[in-house]
């Protein structure tokens, strides 16, 4: 899976959340942002249950500074926020622990539409004077390809991924999902004795 390259020219005019001024930059200045698990580079994908690291690698030849600070707000599906920070000197890349990323998404039903809210990452890079070098947001997306599943079919766990500059919550389409918001099946004996039927639910 390819690594996502973020060109600074597209975000140089965006001030960091801290309010610091943006730093002017040329077109060839860039950062490379990716997620790693063990020795595997996942691009911006992740596998729930495995430990993950967020890696922000500056192309130092494009930067006039010798030290940067990377600040990441990791927003959890339940609305909580975890702050991650790392400072690195010229020649190094910042790595920040994201953890297992295994909290289930939150599903919300509004006006006939089901929304899915997962993890979000707000990434900010500053120099030692507080000038903003990079400001980018990623949101846990849905699957990239549709699958042919009928109502009640099991949806296996799979690879999740972060998409840039997406809404905090996305419209849930079950054919693109990694797991369903809820799934029910009826046993044949319940159909024979409907008055004895009970609904059992489980979550993970």
Q: What is the pTM of this model?
A: 0.70
- Report the pLDDT value the prediction gives residue 67, as an integer from 0 to 100: 95
- Give the number of domains in the chain: 1
Q: Is 192 within a domain?
A: no
pLDDT at residue number 182: 46
Cα 146 from Cα 169, distance rounded (Å): 19
Q: Is residue 153 part of a domain?
A: yes
Q: Residue 199: inside a domain, yes or no?
A: no
Instruction: Give a yes or no: residue 201 inside a domain.
Output: no
Rounded to a whole number, what is the distance in angstroms from the first to the last CA of the chain? 28
User: For the purposes of burial, counting CB atoms within 10 Å of the CB of 139, is it exposed (0-12), middle (13-18) or buried (19 or more)?
Assistant: buried
The tokens of 169 are what? 């919550």
Taking every pair of Cα atoms in the chain, the longest distance, rounded to a whole number of angstroms, is 75
pLDDT in tens, 110-144: 888 888 899 999 999 999 999 889 899 999 987 66
**Residue 113: inside a domain:** yes
Query: In this structure, are residues 40 and 17 in contact, taking their beta carbons and an 8 Å threshold?
Result: no
- Please give the pLDDT value at position 198: 61
List, for the chain, all residue ranges whose pLDDT scores fall below the cut of 50: 1-15, 18-28, 180-183, 201-204
Domain that holds residue 155: 4-181
Q: Give domain status of residue 202, yes or no.
A: no
- Please, what is the Cα angle at 92 between 88 and 95, to 5 degrees? 70
Position 107 scores a pLDDT of 87
């Amino acid at each position: 899976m390819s690594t996502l390259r973020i060109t600074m020219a597209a975000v140089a005019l965006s001030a960091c959340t801290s309010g610091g001024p943006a730093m002017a930059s040329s077109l060839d200045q860039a950062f490379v942002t990716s997620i790693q698990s063990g020795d595997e580079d996942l691009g911006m994908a992740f596998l729930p249950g495995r430990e993950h690291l967020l890696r922000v690698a500056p192309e130092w030849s494009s930067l006039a500074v010798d030290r940067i600070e990377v600040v990441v707000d990791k927003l959890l599906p339940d609305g909580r926020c975890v702050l991650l920070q790392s400072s690195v000197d010229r020649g190094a890349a910042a790595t920040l622990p994201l953890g297992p990323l295994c909290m289930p998404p939150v599903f919300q039903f509004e006006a006939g539409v089901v929304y899915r809210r997962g993890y979000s990452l707000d990434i900010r890079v500053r120099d030692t004077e507080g000038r903003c070098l990079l400001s980018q947001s990623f949101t846990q997306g849905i699957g990239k390809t549709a699958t042919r599943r009928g109502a009640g079919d099991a949806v296996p766990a799979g690879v999740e991924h972060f998409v840039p500059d997406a809404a905090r919550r996305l419209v849930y389409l079950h054919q693109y999902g990694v797991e369903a918001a809820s799934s029910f099946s009826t046993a044949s004996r319940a159909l024979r004795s409907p008055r004895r039927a009970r609904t059992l639910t489980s979550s993970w």
